[in-house]
């Protein structure tokens, strides 16, 4: 493992503390009272639809944006007032445009290592991230997955206590995505706290200890992935396309019903096994045929859709 330096402090504690964070662009509130706490050693996910305020929130944590109001602390430090100290203990993932296309992998690792007083040794880091055979390759010639691995390496090179990864696996093929997940688990196993912004429910479900779902600048829910599923969507999902519209009041009265979503003529109900039985009875009684009927266990996807009201 590439984490070398032991932590000075012992015991579980919060590393990131965000209270009533607000940030507007003009008269538009991008972040409107966000609060959450990330414990040391956690993989904490931030999920939410496009434009929900996720990036603005993590940029305030990184000290890249100045909040209008509220309180952000990283290991007890203010990311704006104590920017230097926070930059030393927080590793942030670069955006593509921030790296010179002609820089080789080795040059990028050496350059970024030079920014820190006590950098990690980049050689084992490059080895672990599968970049060792690519040290002389220019950034522009790397594949999408190799670029992402280099970004992870650069985020870890300062031997950070917290690493912020924003949409890390977007654009990767399924195998590269799974490899990246294993890397993130390794990073955490090495004692680094991970703040992960993602659009992928499967990713959040697999990796995150807890997830904050952000919607329209607010935390719509904060729980473990399993807790979010339990709380919002119900355990069982039944989806079908009815041959004729079903009465809203009859649907709302179904026992155990947690939510109803409609999209392109398809109905998706979440609830319990009892809900499923009652739907089948309702269909038989009203002589409505259910096309493409599917009954599945609820996933974080279902919880996300329920929590963020993205479907009409
Ligand atoms: N620099 C900016 N100037 C003006 N408006 C901005 C700026 N950055 C973000 N916004 C707006 O603030 C809102 C929140 O944006 P933010 O990037 O934080 O959302 P996000 O949840 O990260 O979205 P996405 O998933 O699409 O990346 C959006 O409406 C966005 O258009």
- Domain with residue 61: its CATH number is 3.40.50.300
CA distances to 1, 33, 35, 62, 131 from 20, in Å: 37, 4, 5, 16, 41
Top pLDDT among 150 and 2 is at 150
Q: Specify whether 208 is located in the same domain as 267.
A: no
Number of the ligand 1 atom closest to the C-alpha atom of 26: 4
Q: What's the 24 CA to ligand 1 centre distance in angstroms?
A: 10
The answer to which of 16-30, 105-119, 170-184, 203-217 has the lowest mean pLDDT is: 170-184
Which uninterrupted H or E stretch holds 17? strand 14-25
**pLDDT tens, residue by residue, 226-256:** 888 877 667 788 999 999 999 999 999 999 8
Please indicate, yes or no, if residue 157 is contained in any of the structural domains: yes
In angstroms, the CA 106 to CA 123 distance is 9
Q: Specify whether 83 is located in the same domain as 126.
A: yes
Q: What's the 189 CA to ligand 1 centre distance in angstroms?
A: 32
In angstroms, the CA 56 to CA 137 distance is 33
Q: Specify whether 205 is located in the same domain as 143.
A: yes
**Residue 182 phi/psi, 5° resolution?**
-60, -40
3-class secondary structure, 171 = coil
Question: Does pLDDT of 34 surpass 50?
Answer: yes
Q: What's the 53 CA to ligand 1 centre distance in angstroms?
A: 6
pLDDT of residue 96: 64
Tell me which residues have their CB closer than 6 angstroms to ligand 1.
25, 30, 48, 50-56
* Three-class DSSP labels, 39-81: ECCCEEEEECCCCCCHHHHHHHHHCCCCCCEEEEEECCECCCC
Average pLDDT estimate for 141-146: 88
Q: What's the 50 CA to ligand 1 centre distance in angstroms?
A: 8
**Residue range of the domain that includes 297:** 229-308
**Residue 153 phi/psi, 5° resolution?**
-60, -45
Q: Specify whether 104 is located in the same domain as 125.
A: yes
Q: Specify whether 129 is located in the same domain as 241.
A: no
Q: Specify whether 215 is located in the same domain as 261.
A: no
Q: Specify whether 18 is located in the same domain as 165.
A: yes
Question: Does pLDDT of 6 surpass 50?
Answer: no
CATH number at residue 272: 3.30.70.980
- Give the domain-ending residue among 192, 223, 254: 223
At residue 301 the predicted structure's pLDDT band, cuts being 50, 70 and 90, is: confident
Q: Specify whether 290 is located in the same domain as 161.
A: no
Q: Specify whether 182 is located in the same domain as 243.
A: no
- Give the domain-ending residue among 175, 201, 223: 223
Q: Domain total for the chain?
A: 2
Please indicate, yes or no, if residue 248 is contained in any of the structural domains: yes
Please indicate, yes or no, if residue 122 is contained in any of the structural domains: yes
Please indicate, yes or no, if residue 4 is contained in any of the structural domains: no
Q: Specify whether 25 is located in the same domain as 161.
A: yes
Q: Specify whether 163 is located in the same domain as 304.
A: no
Top pLDDT among 164 and 178 is at 164
Please indicate, yes or no, if residue 84 is contained in any of the structural domains: yes
Rounded to 5°, the CA angle 119-185-65 comes to: 60
- Give the domain-ending residue among 223, 249, 279: 223
Please indicate, yes or no, if residue 6 is contained in any of the structural domains: no
Mutate to test the pocket of ligand 1, among 22, 29, 54, 204 (most ligand atoms within 8 A of CB): 54
Q: Specify whether 79 is located in the same domain as 203.
A: yes
């Amino acid at each position: 493992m590439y984490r070398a330096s032991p932590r000075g402090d012992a015991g579980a504690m919060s590393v990131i503390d965000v209270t009533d964070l607000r940030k507007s662009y003009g008269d538009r509130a991008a972040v409107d009272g966000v609060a959450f706490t990330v414990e040391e050693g956690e993989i904490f996910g931030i999920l939410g639809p496009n434009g929900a305020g996720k990036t603005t929130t993590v940029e305030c944590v990184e000290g890249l944006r100045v909040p209008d109001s509220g309180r952000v602390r990283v290991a007890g430090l203010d990311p704006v007032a104590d920017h230097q100290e926070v930059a030393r203990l927080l590793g942030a993932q670069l955006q593509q445009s921030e790296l010179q296309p002609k820089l080789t992998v080795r040059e990028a690792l050496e350059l970024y290592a030079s920014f820190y007083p006590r950098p990690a040794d980049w050689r084992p880091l490059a080895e672990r991230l599968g970049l060792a055979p690519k040290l002389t390759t220019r950034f522009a010639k790397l594949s999408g997955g190799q670029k992402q691995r280099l970004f992870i390496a650069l985020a870890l090179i300062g031997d950070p206590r917290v690493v912020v990864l924003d949409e890390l696996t977007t654009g990767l093929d399924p195998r590269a995505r799974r490899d990246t997940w294993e890397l993130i688990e390794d990073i955490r196993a090495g004692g680094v706290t991970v703040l992960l912004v993602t659009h992928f429910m499967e990713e959040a479900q697999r990796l995150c200890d807890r997830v904050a779902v952000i919607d329209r600048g607010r935390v719509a829910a904060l729980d473990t992935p399993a807790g979010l599923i339990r709380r919002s969507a119900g355990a069982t999902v039944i989806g079908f396309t009815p041959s004729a519209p079903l009465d809203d009041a009859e649907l709302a009265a179904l026992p155990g019903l947690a939510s109803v979503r409609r999209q392109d003529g398809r109905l998706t109900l979440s609830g319990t096994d009892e809900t499923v039985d009652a739907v089948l009875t309702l269909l038989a009684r009203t002589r409505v045929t259910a096309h493409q009927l599917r009954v599945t266990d609820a996933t974080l996807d279902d919880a996300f859709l329920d929590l963020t009201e993205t479907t009409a």
